[in-house]
Structure 1
Amino acid sequence: MSTHSVADTANTASTTAARPRVEHKYAPGAKRARRINTGLGVLAWVIGIVFCLPALWMLLTSFHSEADAATNPPSLAASLTLDGYRAFFGSDGGASPWPPLLNSLMASLFSTVLVLLLALPAAYALSIRRVRKWTDVMFFFLSTKMLPVVAGLLPIYLFAKNVGMLDNIWLLVILYTSMNLPIAVWMMQSFLADVPVSIIEAAQVDGARLPTVLARVVAPIAAPGIAATSLICFIFSWNELLFARVLTGVRAETAPVYLMSVVTSQGLFLAQLCAASVIVSLPVLAAGFAAQDKLVQGLSLGAVK
């Protein structure tokens, strides 16, 4: 046997040994893996449906009359009506829900914008241009969430009363900003930590100052994280009840406080309450669907290296 034949045989053997073994799709291992994946998929669908059932039940009940909604057990075949929505929008002479909805929208939007304007420079200083003892700063932001909200309610109420800011929507804007700012800094710090420093240095070499770097370099790269942070802050502000219930009256009443007016001394109007809950939930659902892709990217940013 020639030298070339021996060498070719050795190369063929080494290539065959190095080639990964491809498992046939009908092999027992592949069938087992396919059954496991199918079972996990079915389980995920079941869990998702179970979690969605209360919301679907609320939606269905909102289209029932008060008599049908109060039956026990509830009837799925009951006739559908829009009486609950008509009562919510005040078509029967009740109070209009538009001022509370607009107050909630105003407080949530303004506080979210303020949080982003304050959290982005803070996260930049804690992740890219790290200040001294930045871990202590992060712990300080986290420690502000350790105090129960109800513990600071009385001092805030007395302060608002003394300065004449009770029943003022701007007081809620300030409180929601301070409430969401630590969460926003923590989230955006992890998002901005993945921004390449070389891009920022290149922009600074070209003469870009800090506001330009934040607006035109950092913000576009960290857009998914900013979208996720803003959506979470918006949801927290929209759903907040304790501050709004104690510190507002008529002019600054928000949507969650307005929902409590459905529960009266005459009883619980279940169909109207479900209709009101559906309407109040729509802005959050719309914002979530609009920023769905950015939200998924932002929440998973940095999860896979």
Structure 2
Amino acid sequence: MARAISTRRKTVFTLVGWTIGFLIFFPILWTFITSFKSEGEAIASPPSFLFFDWTTENYTEVQTRSDYGRHVMNSVVIAFGSTFLGLLIAIPAAWSMAFAPTKRTKDVLMWMLSTKMLPPVGVLLPIYLMFRDFGLLDTRTGLVVVMTLINLPIIVWMLYTYFKEIPGDILEAARMDGASLAKEIVYVLTPMAIPGIASTLLLNIIMAWNEAFWTLNLTAAKAAPLTAFIASYSSPEGLFWAKLSAASTLAIAPILIIGWFSQKQLVRGLTFGAVK
């Protein structure tokens, strides 16, 4: 029998939850509000929260100065392309580790995870030289490849965790019915792991969308995504906070909308297998 929770405790937990949520969301809210201020009001002390002359001139200037649509398209291609390519590689890899493990499986998983512990700047020079020699600098293809490689360990680890929750007897039954390895993965394993695959896809799209180190160092103009779009508003003359806030708002808006509409799927995937 479930333990009853008092109304008072529910109210306290709700208030604590809303307070924590507001504190986490406040930087985004402040960036959004600052994007409607003039440069003078943006650096005023003490700052004004709501009572100021709201203006959209920052958005107009950002659109005039930069090709926002091109940067958005570059971010979409890089984030979605690298994530789908990573899934194509990671699903068979996670299947083999989850359902056909060897004594070296855990070592391989730890080795893959250890690659995320290396500071990116440590491998910047060799990757930059390889990209230069192969003609991949400032190209979408090059960024899709590098984003796939840097996020692949996380994708494999997440899928491995989800696949381990699927009973192996179901896959064995599919084999007894004559299913080939490809059909087993595509028609049996993948549909059962859709919540986990969806959450993995969403999280890696967000990581690729927000990646700044590689995009700033491997692009110049043609393949520059939204992270480079934001960085262009930091100049030697100083930071123009209002315009920078407008650029940041435009950059995070698409991924924020995607996250908002897919939050139920994301939570379902993250809790996949948590309840026995």
Q: TM-score range by the shorter chain?
A: over 0.9
Given that 1:160 and 1:166 are in contact with CA atoms closer than 8 Å, whether structure 2 keeps it comes out as yes
1:132 deviation in Å?
Answer: 4.0
For CA contacts below 8 A with separation 6 or more, give which structure has more relative contact order. Answer: 2
Alpha-carbon separation, structure 2, partners of 1:242 and 1:299: 27
Which shows bigger deviation, 271-280 or 113-122? Answer: 271-280
- Name the CA distance, whole Å, in 2 between partners of 1:261 and 1:180: 25
Q: CA RMSD in A?
A: 2.0
**Out of 144, 151, 154, which is 1:183 matched to?**
154
Name stretches of at least 5 consecutive residues in structure 2 with no aligned partner. Answer: none
Task: Give matches, 1:79-118, under 5 Å.
Answer: 79-90=53-64, 94-118=65-89
SS of equivalent residue, structure 2 residue 117: coil
Per-residue displacement from partner, 1:135-167 (whole Å, max 9, x unpaired)?
Answer: 112112112112111100011111112222221
Report the equivalent of 1:251: 222
State the match for 2:99 in structure 1. 128
Query: What is the alpha-carbon distance in structure 1 between the residues aligned to residue 260 and residue 192 of structure 2?
Result: 21
Which amino acid in 1 is paired with 2:67?
S
Name the structure 1 match of 2:267.
296
Shift of 1:34: 4.3
Moved more, 127-136 or 220-229: 127-136
Does the 8 A contact of 2:155 with 2:204 survive in 1?
yes
1:196 aligns with 2:167: yes
Q: Secondary structure at the match of 2:165?
A: coil
* Mapped pair 1:41 → 2:14: yes
Contact residue 169 and residue 252 of structure 1 kept, 8 A: yes
- Is 1:71 the counterpart of 2:44 in the alignment? yes
Equivalent position to 1:54, from 12, 27, 33: 27
In structure 1, distance between residues paired with 2:28 and 2:226? 18
* Equivalent residue for 1:165, pick from 136, 139, 149: 136
Does the 8 Å contact 1:64/1:78 carry over to 2?
yes
Distance 1:99 1:297 in 2: 33
Letter in 2 for 1:151: G
Which residue identity lines up with residue 53 of structure 1 in the other structure? F
Q: Secondary structure at the match of 1:218?
A: helix
Structure 1: gaps of 5 or more residues:
1-19
Asked which structure has the greater CA Rg, the reply is: 1
Q: CA deviation at 1:107?
A: 0.8
**Retained in 2: the 8 A contact 1:167–1:250?**
yes
- Deviation >3 Å, runs of 4+: 33-37
Asked if the contact 1:101/1:255 (under 8 Å) is kept, the reply is yes
1:249 partner SS: coil
Structure 1 vs Structure 2: percent identity of aligned residues?
39
Using the alignment, how far apart are the partners of 1:231 and 1:87 within structure 2? 32
Match of 1:301, SS state, is: coil
Contact 2:234 2:240 in 1 (8 A): yes
Q: C-alpha distance in 2, partners of 1:268/1:58?
A: 14
The one-letter code of the counterpart of 1:130 is P
Contact 1:58 1:274 in 2 (8 A): yes
Question: What count of residue pairs does the alignment treat as equivalent?
Answer: 275
Aligned-residue offset at 1:269:
1.8
Separation of aligned partners in 2, 1:87 and 1:280: 15
Residue 39 of structure 1 and its aligned partner are, at CA, apart by 2.1
SS of 1:144 mapped into structure 2: helix
Pairwise CA distance, 1:218: 1.1
Query: Given residue 25 of structure 2, which amino acid in structure 1 is its aligned partner?
Result: C
**1:270 matched to 2:244:** no
Q: Aligned letter for 2:129? A: L
Match of 1:4 in 2: none
- Which amino acid counterpart does residue 86 of structure 1 have in structure 2? T
Q: Indicate which of 175, 179, 188 corresponds to 1:217.
A: 188
**What residue identity is the alignment partner of 1:168?**
T
Counterpart of 1:240 (choices 205, 208, 211) is: 211
